[in-house]
Amino acid sequence: MNTKLFCDRDVPCRAGDPRCHLATLSLLLVTHWLTNCYFLECPGGVGNHWFNMSLASILPAEAIGNAIRECQAPESFCHKKFFQLCGLTSKSPQDVKVIFSILDNDGSGFIEEEELKFFLQRFSPNARILTENETKKFLLAADEDNDGKIGAEEFQLMVLS
Protein backbone atom coordinates (compact mmCIF):
# COMPACT_ATOMS: atom_id res chain seq x y z
CA MET A 1 0.00 0.00 0.00
CA ASN A 2 1.34 3.43 -0.90
CA THR A 3 0.83 5.11 2.44
CA LYS A 4 3.02 5.91 5.42
CA LEU A 5 1.84 4.40 8.65
CA PHE A 6 2.89 5.41 12.14
CA CYS A 7 2.83 3.14 15.14
CA ASP A 8 2.78 4.19 18.76
CA ARG A 9 6.52 5.01 18.48
CA ASP A 10 5.64 7.95 16.12
CA VAL A 11 7.98 6.71 13.42
CA PRO A 12 7.15 5.30 10.00
CA CYS A 13 6.18 1.63 10.24
CA ARG A 14 5.98 -1.28 7.90
CA ALA A 15 3.92 -4.40 8.30
CA GLY A 16 6.15 -6.98 9.92
CA ASP A 17 8.36 -4.48 11.75
CA PRO A 18 8.92 -6.20 15.13
CA ARG A 19 9.27 -2.81 16.86
CA CYS A 20 5.65 -1.91 16.04
CA HIS A 21 2.73 -3.25 17.95
CA LEU A 22 0.54 -5.35 15.68
CA ALA A 23 -2.70 -4.12 17.23
CA THR A 24 -1.76 -0.49 16.66
CA LEU A 25 -0.66 -1.19 13.10
CA SER A 26 -3.88 -3.11 12.40
CA LEU A 27 -5.97 -0.24 13.77
CA LEU A 28 -4.08 2.21 11.58
CA LEU A 29 -4.66 0.04 8.52
CA VAL A 30 -8.39 -0.19 9.20
CA THR A 31 -8.56 3.56 9.87
CA HIS A 32 -6.70 4.24 6.63
CA TRP A 33 -9.05 2.00 4.66
CA LEU A 34 -12.15 3.59 6.15
CA THR A 35 -11.00 7.18 5.73
CA ASN A 36 -9.02 6.97 2.50
CA CYS A 37 -10.07 3.87 0.63
CA TYR A 38 -13.51 2.69 1.58
CA PHE A 39 -15.37 5.14 -0.63
CA LEU A 40 -12.57 6.97 -2.39
CA GLU A 41 -9.94 5.97 -4.92
CA CYS A 42 -7.05 4.53 -2.92
CA PRO A 43 -3.54 4.67 -4.42
CA GLY A 44 -2.93 1.16 -3.13
CA GLY A 45 -6.22 -0.12 -4.46
CA VAL A 46 -6.92 -2.11 -1.31
CA GLY A 47 -9.96 -0.15 -0.21
CA ASN A 48 -11.68 -0.22 -3.57
CA HIS A 49 -11.48 -3.99 -3.69
CA TRP A 50 -12.84 -4.23 -0.15
CA PHE A 51 -15.63 -1.79 -0.95
CA ASN A 52 -16.63 -3.52 -4.19
CA MET A 53 -16.68 -6.89 -2.48
CA SER A 54 -19.05 -5.51 0.16
CA LEU A 55 -21.61 -4.35 -2.38
CA ALA A 56 -21.02 -7.30 -4.69
CA SER A 57 -21.93 -9.65 -1.86
CA ILE A 58 -25.42 -8.08 -1.84
CA LEU A 59 -26.02 -6.69 -5.33
CA PRO A 60 -24.95 -8.20 -8.66
CA ALA A 61 -22.14 -6.20 -10.29
CA GLU A 62 -23.92 -6.34 -13.66
CA ALA A 63 -27.05 -4.81 -12.14
CA ILE A 64 -25.03 -2.04 -10.50
CA GLY A 65 -23.36 -1.30 -13.84
CA ASN A 66 -26.75 -1.14 -15.60
CA ALA A 67 -28.13 1.22 -12.98
CA ILE A 68 -25.09 3.51 -13.21
CA ARG A 69 -25.29 3.60 -17.04
CA GLU A 70 -28.94 4.66 -16.90
CA CYS A 71 -28.12 7.83 -15.01
CA GLN A 72 -24.84 8.94 -16.59
CA ALA A 73 -26.19 12.26 -17.84
CA PRO A 74 -26.61 15.10 -15.33
CA GLU A 75 -30.19 15.47 -14.07
CA SER A 76 -31.05 11.90 -15.16
CA PHE A 77 -30.86 10.29 -11.71
CA CYS A 78 -34.12 8.84 -10.38
CA HIS A 79 -33.67 7.05 -7.07
CA LYS A 80 -36.65 4.72 -7.66
CA LYS A 81 -35.34 3.62 -11.05
CA PHE A 82 -31.81 3.24 -9.70
CA PHE A 83 -32.98 1.08 -6.78
CA GLN A 84 -35.00 -1.08 -9.17
CA LEU A 85 -32.20 -1.52 -11.74
CA CYS A 86 -29.47 -2.36 -9.24
CA GLY A 87 -31.73 -4.91 -7.54
CA LEU A 88 -31.98 -3.12 -4.22
CA THR A 89 -35.80 -3.15 -4.16
CA SER A 90 -35.85 -6.95 -4.13
CA LYS A 91 -33.51 -7.25 -1.15
CA SER A 92 -34.43 -8.02 2.44
CA PRO A 93 -34.70 -5.24 5.02
CA GLN A 94 -31.48 -6.57 6.57
CA ASP A 95 -29.63 -6.27 3.25
CA VAL A 96 -30.93 -2.73 2.81
CA LYS A 97 -29.59 -1.83 6.26
CA VAL A 98 -26.19 -3.25 5.35
CA ILE A 99 -26.14 -1.15 2.19
CA PHE A 100 -27.19 1.88 4.23
CA SER A 101 -24.20 1.35 6.52
CA ILE A 102 -21.91 1.22 3.47
CA LEU A 103 -23.41 4.46 2.14
CA ASP A 104 -23.08 6.15 5.54
CA ASN A 105 -19.53 7.24 4.80
CA ASP A 106 -18.77 8.84 8.17
CA GLY A 107 -20.55 6.20 10.28
CA SER A 108 -22.86 8.78 11.86
CA GLY A 109 -25.98 6.67 11.42
CA PHE A 110 -27.25 9.12 8.81
CA ILE A 111 -26.60 9.94 5.17
CA GLU A 112 -26.14 13.69 5.05
CA GLU A 113 -26.47 15.87 1.95
CA GLU A 114 -22.69 16.00 1.45
CA GLU A 115 -22.52 12.16 1.44
CA LEU A 116 -25.59 11.89 -0.76
CA LYS A 117 -24.05 13.77 -3.67
CA PHE A 118 -21.45 10.96 -3.93
CA PHE A 119 -24.19 8.28 -3.83
CA LEU A 120 -23.43 6.87 -7.31
CA GLN A 121 -19.72 6.72 -6.57
CA ARG A 122 -20.44 4.47 -3.60
CA PHE A 123 -21.69 1.92 -6.11
CA SER A 124 -19.02 2.57 -8.74
CA PRO A 125 -15.93 4.72 -8.06
CA ASN A 126 -15.91 6.07 -11.64
CA ALA A 127 -19.55 7.20 -11.58
CA ARG A 128 -20.44 10.88 -11.62
CA ILE A 129 -21.51 12.87 -8.57
CA LEU A 130 -25.13 13.90 -8.31
CA THR A 131 -25.97 17.48 -9.24
CA GLU A 132 -27.08 19.84 -6.50
CA ASN A 133 -30.66 19.60 -7.77
CA GLU A 134 -30.58 15.77 -7.85
CA THR A 135 -29.10 15.65 -4.37
CA LYS A 136 -31.78 17.93 -2.93
CA LYS A 137 -34.60 15.96 -4.63
CA PHE A 138 -33.15 12.69 -3.35
CA LEU A 139 -32.88 14.06 0.19
CA LEU A 140 -36.43 15.43 0.14
CA ALA A 141 -37.78 12.09 -1.09
CA ALA A 142 -36.34 10.22 1.88
CA ASP A 143 -36.16 12.72 4.75
CA GLU A 144 -39.48 11.94 6.47
CA ASP A 145 -38.70 13.84 9.67
CA ASN A 146 -37.23 16.90 7.88
CA ASP A 147 -33.98 16.88 9.84
CA GLY A 148 -31.86 17.34 6.69
CA LYS A 149 -30.44 13.82 6.66
CA ILE A 150 -31.53 10.27 5.90
CA GLY A 151 -31.63 7.76 8.72
CA ALA A 152 -31.51 3.98 8.31
CA GLU A 153 -35.26 3.59 8.73
CA GLU A 154 -35.98 6.39 6.25
CA PHE A 155 -33.63 4.80 3.73
CA GLN A 156 -35.21 1.40 4.16
CA LEU A 157 -38.71 2.86 3.77
CA MET A 158 -37.69 4.72 0.61
CA VAL A 159 -36.03 1.66 -0.97
CA LEU A 160 -38.66 -0.92 -0.11
CA SER A 161 -41.80 1.15 -0.73
Q: Which residues are part of a known binding site for Ca(2+)?
A: 104, 106, 108, 110, 115, 143, 145, 147, 149, 154
Q: Return d(Cα 82, Cα 69) in angstroms, integer.
A: 10
Q: Are 102 and 55 in contact (CB under 8 A)?
A: yes
Paired sense of beta strands 149-151 and 110-112, if any: antiparallel
Query: Residues marked as binding?
Result: 104, 106, 108, 110, 115, 143, 145, 147, 149, 154
Q: Return d(Cα 2, Cα 81) in angstroms, integer.
A: 38
Which of these, 129, 156, 159, lies nearest to 39 by C-alpha position? 129
